[in-house]
Structure formats: C-alpha cells, structure tokens
Amino acid sequence: MSGIWGNRLKVSIFGESHGEAIGAVIDGLPPGIKLDLEAVRSQMKRRAPGQGGITTARREEDEFQILSGFFNGYTTGTPLAFIIKNNDTRSSDYEYLKNVPRPGHGDYTGKIKYRGYNDYRGGGHFSGRITAPIVFVGAICRQFLEEKGIYIGSHIKNIGKADDDSFDAVHIDKDLIFKLNVMRLPLIAEEKIKDMESEIMLAKADGDSIGGSVECAVIGLGAGLGEPFFDSVESRLAHILFSIPGVKGVEFGSGFSSVRMRGSEVNDEFYIQDGEIKTKTNHCGGILGGITNGMPIIFRVAIKPTPSIAKNQKSVDMTKMETVDLNIKGRHDPCIVPRAVPVVEAAAAIGIIDFVLEE
C-alpha cells in the first residue's frame, strides 16, 4: 500500500476509520518553524464531522497528540509524528458489509486487492476519515508558507445545481482568503448559501447524496517553481489532489472550458507593472510549461456524491455469489463537499511546500 507522498517533504499516513487512531509522520520539515497549535485546531475543526444537519452525525473532536519533532513551540527538524484518536465509532453498522460491497465505494476493490484482510469497518483505510491527518499536515505547511507570503484559500464552486461565483483569476485579495477560511460554507457570493444548503437537504430527505466542486487559489508564489515533465506543478498537485477520497476530476486555469476557445482567447498576454512581469488574464492558472509564472495558481476539484446512501441498491454477496438488496446503515454525509474544502487546501499546501523546499 502506498501511504507515503512527497520528495523533499515526505508524509506517511496510517490508520483506519474505526481503528484505535489515525495519524502521520512528517519527514523533512525544517527546524525552527514556530507552530500555532490553535491555528492547527481551527483547520481541523473545519473538516471535523458532526457539525449540523448537512454533515454526518458521527462526532469526532479530532484532537491530536504530537509524539515527536516538536519542542518548546518549534519544529526540531526531526520527523514530526502525531496521532488522532478515534472515539465515536459504531463498527457493528458495517459487519454486514464484509461480503456485500457498497456501490461506488472501495469495498470491492479493497477486498480483492488485500485478499479479504482489509479492515472494512467504516471503509477502513479507504475512508474519508483518513483526510484528518492530511489537514493536520497541511495546517503546519500553511504556517511555513504564510511566513513566506504564500496563502491558500478556496470556496465551494458548486453543489448540485447551485453555483457560486468564481475567483477573479488575476486579482485575489489576501483578505478574501482569510474570510473564506473562517466561513462554515465558504462562498464568494454569500447569498448563495441557502441554495447550497437546499441542494444538500433535498438529497438527504430523499435518502440520497449529492456532489459538487471546490475552487482553490494559491497566491504569493513567485515564478520558476516546478520541474517539467514529470514533476510539473500540475502533475504533482494533481497527484496529491486525486489521493483525496471522492475526487474524480482536477482542472487548472480555464481547464476543460479552454477546449472551446481559440489560442487568441486562451493565451495570457504579458505586460509590465511596477517592474514585474504579469499577465492580463490567467487562463493557464498560474502555470506555464509545468512551472509557476508568478500569477495566482487556480484549480478546481470535482467531488462525487457520497457513495453511502439510504436508498435501496443492488449489490452482490461475494460469499454466495448472488445478487442481493443492499440497505446501508451507519452515519454518512449527504454531501462531502463542505468538509472537503479544508482537505483540498491542505493537499495544496503539502504539494506547494515540496516545491518551495526544493528551491
């Protein structure tokens, strides 16, 4: 199993949804980073379950315990290890899924891959629960990046048919990023909150789930980061973003909409402002030739509907090799998009710090 990511900064995650604890080891953090643990807790709270009717009823405080690599308020430069205890588990809800895989979930492929030895409770290592360590790591990376004037923020671009406005791809204010980071449902057009909540509650009332997308921006990066071909900024960011459970698409800049444009429309013309080279537009999403060009990095992530739904579905009993009706029990998010926002930002922070440390 591939639980390790990174080049200069290596992150090794471990744990299962209903195991004793989840966590990670971070190798490659420079010594002397002053950590604000309350800021880390704030990021963890953004992802934590049990925050109202639009998320799962499972309640986890996501309180962490740092085991090594942190002393007297600073990173020591040695591997930083931490754990997050699992407290609110109901493993009996998953016993019947041992041989009956949920449609749209990793139950079937996990059982095949690990020859039936996988921990199926709550999805085991395939669960979105494992994104909690990612948010912890990302929260630390963000503090390092912010000291260098690099900021990361995102908003919900859409949930179902409800759409938010888009970032101004050329001019993104740091204050907007700070504002989005503290919103329960981070939106640029705050009046769309009711539309978003309505999409979620309608799906929930129907025993169903719904998907959406997140738009993320990274500002303050200079030009010149990235290594073409196989270590381009898009390549490595896409790698870690696609590692987030439920992510089914990633696009940078104008992405797929650029296929309907001409070169004269999609090309970002250069100009000079205050002695710096900038572009008038940002269809490339801040990346040219796999290398940052100094403009904001803009990307969007598509997140599928939660596979665990209350509606009756068809599956198979892999022991009896026959088709069966499946009624999923347990506590599940009708929409994982709101809780995915800090995970996307954390993944971006981990990816970006890797490039920064290489420089």
180 to 59, 100, 185, 211, 270: CA distances (angstroms) = 24, 40, 8, 20, 30
Q: Is 186 annotated as a binding residue?
A: no
Q: Is 281 annotated as a binding residue?
A: no
Q: Is 12 annotated as a binding residue?
A: no
Q: Is 47 annotated as a binding residue?
A: yes
Cα-Cα-Cα-Cα dihedral sign, residues 284, 293, 171, 191: positive
- The Cα 300–Cα 260 span in angstroms is 18
Q: Is 305 annotated as a binding residue?
A: yes
Q: Is 323 annotated as a binding residue?
A: no
Q: Is 121 annotated as a binding residue?
A: no
Q: Which residues pair with 14 in a beta bridge?
A: 23
What number of other Cβ atoms are within 10 A of residue 215's Cβ? 24
Q: Which of 224, 234, 229 is nearest to 284 (CA)?
A: 234
Q: Is 103 annotated as a binding residue?
A: no
DSSP state of 35: P
Q: Is 127 annotated as a binding residue?
A: yes
Structure tokens at 357: 């440390």
- The Cα 175–Cα 155 span in angstroms is 14
Binding site residues, as ranges? 47, 125-127, 289, 304-308, 331
Binding site residues for NADP(+), as ranges? 47
Binding site residues for FMN, as ranges? 125-127, 289, 304-308, 331
